[in-house]
Chains A and B, each alone.
Chain A
Amino acid sequence: MKRNYLHLELLLGREVLDANGRKVGRIEEAIARKRGGEWVVTEFLCGSFGMMERFSIHHFGSVLMHRLGATGTTSQAQRIKWDELDLSDPEHPRLKKRPS
């Protein structure tokens, strides 16, 4: 049986688009939980700063950014559940359409 593998480190920093082609954010992190003896990814975190989040912005960087006039940014990244993200093309991840 052919298995479908994906490299997480190559997914980092990729821009996520929604179903309408609008930018959602960049993939920064993957949250894993243990289920039934195996580790599975339950959520992805997407943020405005993308890879910059990895640069420890929280402590004094976000203060600096706000003082420099950065608006609309939050230190909280957006959480996307695993089943909401289409990773069939890892170079262009997209949000799946929500069922109406």
Chain B
Amino acid sequence: MELVRDILDKQIRGRDDEKLGKVDGIVLELRDGEPPRVAYIELGSATFARRIGRRFERWAVGINRRFGIRRARYRIAFDRVTDHKLDVRVDIEARRSPAFAWEHWVRDHIIKRLPFAK
């Protein structure tokens, strides 16, 4: 598996087929005398903002806090990845995961308040 080509920046889908987000980061665990383990895929505004710069990461964390979103980044253990041919499929129910926090916030605070929302 080529981690950059096959995993990074790919679409993540949960077992409910919903889109969770993109693989914004890949976390490796460094171990003495052993090869680095692919530990997590990571997603969230702080993760992709960090790829631009530390200042953007701080802004992302601040904005999340301002709107009451607990986590600006979210990790999924790599052993929950079930497939990566087209999208990265994970054994998680997307709608129940913290990665969906912004989607729920926008739906509850904005979309549902607009006319003909259903």
Chains A and B in contact, CB within 8 Å = yes
Name the CB-closest residue of A to B34. Answer: A40
The verdict on B39 contacting chain A, using a C-beta distance below 8 Å, is yes
Cα–Cα, bound, A6→B3 (Å): 14
CA distance A87 to B47 in the complex (A): 20
Q: Are A6 and B24 in contact (CB under 8 A)?
A: no
Q: Is the CB of B51 within 8 A of A33?
A: no
Q: Please tell me if the beta carbons of B28 and A9 are within 8 angstroms of each other in the complex.
A: no
A74 to B30, CA, bound (A): 30
Cα A43 to Cα B40 in complex, Å, equals 18
* Docked CA distance A54–B8 (Å): 12
Q: Chain B residues near A83 (CB, 8 Å)?
A: 35
Indicate with 1 or 0, residue by residue over B1-45, a CB within 8 angstroms of chain A CB atoms: 111110010000000000000001111111100111111001000
B35 near A41 with CB under 8 A, answer yes
- B79 in contact (CB, < 8 A): yes
Q: How far is the CB of A95 from chain B (nearest CB, A)?
A: 16
Q: Is A7 positioned at the interface, with any CB of B under 8 Å from its CB?
A: yes
Main SS class of interface, A: strand
A9 & B25 in contact (Cβ 8 Å cutoff): yes
Closest-CB distance, A86 to chain B (whole angstroms): 11
Task: Please determine whether A6 and B28 come into contact, CB atoms closer than 8 angstroms.
Answer: yes
A82 on the interface (CB 8 Å rule)? yes
A-B contact pairs, 19 of them (CB 8 A): A3-B29, A6-B29, A8-B25, A9-B25, A10-B51, A29-B2, A30-B3, A31-B3, A32-B3, A35-B35, A38-B37, A38-B79, A40-B36, A41-B3, A41-B38, A42-B35, A54-B4, A87-B30, A87-B36
Binding site for B on A (CB under 8 A): 3-10, 12, 28-33, 35, 37-42, 54, 82-83, 87
- Interfacial residues, chain B to chain A (CB-CB below 8 A): 1-5, 8, 24-31, 34-39, 42, 47, 50-51, 78-79
